[in-house]
Chain A
Amino acid sequence: DGGITQSPKYLFRKEGQNVTLSCEQNLNHDAMYWYRQDPGQGLRLIYYSQIVNDFQKGDIAEGYSVSREKKESFPLTVTSAQKNPTAFYLCASSIAGYNQPQHFGDGTRLSIL
């Protein structure tokens, strides 16, 4: 089955710890995205990548980092600099270009211990 796989489903972070969220897709999409979803605030874009080895900051990139070494993979690291990381994180992918629908994974819920 083609789709996007996010892991883990639940993740807990200790103070001062970096954690990495995994996102893998087998849809052969060039573009990939990371969003953060907080209650009552909708989705906000953290980082996006239109092609391998290239990525751009979204609206709320501070405290996060990404890499895009392979077309299928776009991991997100939540660093200790992100002071309020508790949220639902969603990864998406699409064919590059305009007017292409985005396909989403099932998300990772990150909480602070």
Chain B
Amino acid sequence: KQEVTQIPAALSVPEGENLVLNCSFTDSAIYNLQWFRQDPGKGLTSLLLIQSSQREQTSGRLNASLDKSSGRSTLYIAASQPGDSATYLCAVESYNTDKLIFGTGTRLQVFP
């Protein structure tokens, strides 16, 4: 059974820091890994989707990497800003379930 874990559960950093969020998964038979952002009381916003054949994807200050063999992904946020404060969730689309399996998220606070 696919399990997705995100560490740390919460993170607080000063503005301007570069930071890394971690996501691990137990079954490497995946189509893709996705990173989402969730603001309090809101839905999820898709940030990046990395297909299983890809190693990384970039969007602006965000860079996500995927190491399928080791079951790990990282989301790198450069030059963090207070507006980046949110919960970040990763999810994998697995072969054997055809569904997205979500981690429990990392709650990020960037303070001025």
Residues of A within 8 A of B (CB): 4, 6, 40-45, 48, 58-59, 90, 92, 98-99, 101-107, 109
Query: With A42-B102, A42-B103, A43-B89 as given contacts, are A98 and B43 in contact (CB-CB < 8 Å)?
Result: no
Which chain B residues have a beta carbon within 8 Å of chain A's beta carbons? 4, 31-32, 34, 36, 41-46, 49, 51, 89, 91, 93, 98-100, 102-105
A41/B104 contact (C-beta < 8 A), A90-B43, A98-B32, A99-B93 known: yes
- Give the complex CA separation of A68 and B36 in angstroms: 26
CB distance from A4 to the nearest CB of B (A): 8
Could you say which of B32, B42, B49, B99 contacts A58, with CB atoms under 8 Å apart? B99
How many A-B pairs have beta carbons closer than 8 Å: the answer is 53
What chain A residues lie within 8 Å of B45 (beta carbons)? 104
Residue of B nearest to A58 (CB): B99
Instruction: Report how far A34 CA is from B92 CA in the complex, Å.
Output: 17
Q: Are A102 and B100 in contact (CB under 8 A)?
A: yes
- Top 7 nearest A-B pairs by Cβ distance? A104-B43, A101-B46, A42-B102, A42-B104, A104-B44, A43-B102, A98-B31
Which B residues touch A59, using CB under 8 A?
99
With known contacts A98-B31, A99-B93, A45–B43 Cβ distance under 8 A: no
